[in-house]
Amino acid sequence: MMRDSARKVLEGIREEFKLSAADMNKMIRDFRREMDRGLRGRKSSLKMLPSYVTKPTGNEKGAFLAIDLGGTNLRVAEVELKGAGKEIAYRSKSFILKDKLISGSSGKFFDAIAEHLRRFIGRRDIGAGIPMKLGFTFSFPVRQDSLRSGRLICWTKGFSVKGVKGKDVVKLLEEALKRKGLGGIRVSALMNDTVGTLAARSYSDSSCEVGVVIGTGTNACYYDKRLGTIINIEWGNFNRMKRALYDRLLDENSGNPGEQLLEKSVSGMYLGEIVRLIICDLASRGYLFRRFSSTALIKKNVLKAEDISRMEEPGEKGLANADKVLRRYGMMNSTIGERSLVRQLCRIVSRRAARISSAGIIAVLKKIDPVFSRSHTVAIDGSVFEKHPNFAKEMRSGIKDVLGVRSEKVKIVLSKNGSALGAGVAAAISQSHSL
Ligand code: GLC
């Protein structure tokens, strides 16, 4: 049973993290303003980067290699498009990128990527058994001046490879491919993961004009009809939101203070850390785990988004998972009251994350179609959206809170592996344009 004092503290936290429909509407207005400022090249927290990728027609065909880089895993793939909007065939292999690599030198980093591709290709011949064209999904803010070139503006999500900022990442990759004897492969499209997600879904669904990723990081893009290209919003950097004390704490102790503020409230890289900061605060004030002297939870970033997802499983399963997670951190005999308090904290934090994402999506849809004159599919990829037990549900309910009956016009769908598949689609679009 939860003590009255603990209940009060929990209510305080709930209030701090609450995002009411009115808060969401305010965020939507601010977001739209920032989008417009960004598009006009004025100072804005939203970079609004042209991608040089248009929407596919569904008739594109061909086989392509793909590299998907930007989360915890690096993925290499072979993607085959059969035209007529048919399902895209693909096979892929994932590799974990070690911490040493993502904070090391540019040469070593791109060599490692090229080496993984070389192993994936194995003994097959480029051109004969293996496609020569490659789509490169590079999920960081990049200023592109063509479909196949783009300079890194800044790293996000804890990456800090040296010597890449300001450089053309396609060149860096192609140089590394050459060093590995893969000089015959040409990067024919560079894109953000959100752009890949949108391209992959819209290959078979023309009502899809928005792509979102909610995984290690978070971001969105949309097809701008007037500009004739997909715009990468880089919404993770949006900074006009209601923030809680714990958000400030997290930001101050992060590698990029003041940046990526929306991402720090929403994405998988940070969700566990927000919950951990609350738990530590409540423990230090005597509301939680008074009988334990565990120092494990004092370590930054130990609580992962997967832990949050597991603890939020419904009913007994979630409670049992909470016990397992807490045991891992030395809290061997937590009470049911404590476990349920921790689960509620998870719920509060992930619910807010989902509602922030909903507000972002509504703002983007209003930009495309202010009066919701037609139906829209929003393609979403990323581990948080895919694996968290309540996230999609909370997002739908957030959309309904703001849009009411008009929410029926908005379909949010999982576009699994969209970022990798989209690399193939974008490479195919570039090919059909150059025919
Ligand atoms: C970060 C990156 C962005 C990417 C997102 C999701 O926000 O800056 O480019 O799309 O993570 O991976």
User: Is the pLDDT assigned to residue 215 strictly greater than 60?
Assistant: yes
52-191 CATH, one of 3.40.190.10, 3.40.720.10, 3.30.420.40, 3.30.1540.20: 3.30.420.40
pLDDT of residue 2: 59
**pLDDT tens sequence across 94-130:** 999 888 999 999 999 999 999 999 999 887 777 777 8
Least confident of 67-76, 156-165, 303-312, 364-373: 67-76
Q: Which residue has the higher pLDDT, 85 or 332?
A: 332
**pLDDT tens sequence across 23-32:** 999 999 999 9
Q: What is the residue whose two structure tokens read 């090249």?
A: 41
What is the CB neighbour count within 10 angstroms for residue 190?
A: 29
Question: In this structure, which residue's CA is closest to atom 1 in ligand 1?
Answer: 217
Grade residue 435 by pLDDT with cuts at 50, 70 and 90: very low
pLDDT of residue 433: 63
Grade residue 73 by pLDDT with cuts at 50, 70 and 90: confident
Report the separation in Å between the CA atom of 93 and the middle of ligand 1, taken as the mean of its atom positions.
21
Report the separation in Å between the CA atom of 217 and the middle of ligand 1, taken as the mean of its atom positions.
5
* Rounded distance between C-alpha atoms, residue 293 and residue 249, angstroms: 23
**Mean of pLDDT values over 48-68:** 93
**Mean of pLDDT values over 353-361:** 98
CA angle 67, 73, 75 (to 5 degrees): 25
Q: Which residue has the higher pLDDT, 422 or 71?
A: 422
CB–CB of 384/71 below 8 Å? no
User: Is the pLDDT assigned to residue 187 strictly greater than 50?
Assistant: yes
Rounded to a whole number, what is the largest CA-CA distance in the chain? 71
Most ligand 1 atoms within 8 A of CB, residue of 136, 151, 157 to mutate: 157
pLDDT of residue 3: 67
User: Is the pLDDT assigned to residue 298 strictly greater than 90?
Assistant: no
* Rounded distance between C-alpha atoms, residue 312 and residue 343, angstroms: 6
CB of 261 within 6 A of ligand 1: the answer is: no
Least confident of 159-168, 276-285, 355-364: 276-285
Question: In this structure, which residue's CA is closest to atom 9 in ligand 1?
Answer: 140
68 is catalytic: no
Report the separation in Å between the CA atom of 86 and the middle of ligand 1, taken as the mean of its atom positions.
28
Tokens standing for residue 187: 């990067």
**Mean of pLDDT values over 419-430:** 89
* Mean model confidence pLDDT for the chain: 93
Most ligand 1 atoms within 8 A of CB, residue of 102, 154, 213 to mutate: 213
Q: Could you tell me where the DSSP H helices lie in 70-105?
A: 99-102
CB of 263 within 6 A of ligand 1: the answer is: yes
CB–CB of 430/139 below 8 Å? no
Q: Which residue has the higher pLDDT, 296 or 5?
A: 5
**Mean of pLDDT values over 235-244:** 95
User: Is the pLDDT assigned to residue 294 strictly greater than 60?
Assistant: yes
**pLDDT tens sequence across 300-350:** 999 999 999 999 999 999 999 999 999 988 888 888 989 999 999 999 999
Tokens standing for residue 13: 């936290």
pTM of the model: 0.95
* Rounded distance between C-alpha atoms, residue 235 and residue 222, angstroms: 11
- For the domain spanning 1-49+205-416, the CATH number is 3.40.367.20
Grade residue 430 by pLDDT with cuts at 50, 70 and 90: confident
pLDDT of residue 329: 84
pLDDT of residue 230: 97
User: Is the pLDDT assigned to residue 367 strictly greater than 50?
Assistant: yes
Show me where the domains of the chain are located: 1-49+205-416, 52-191
CB of 418 within 6 A of ligand 1: the answer is: no
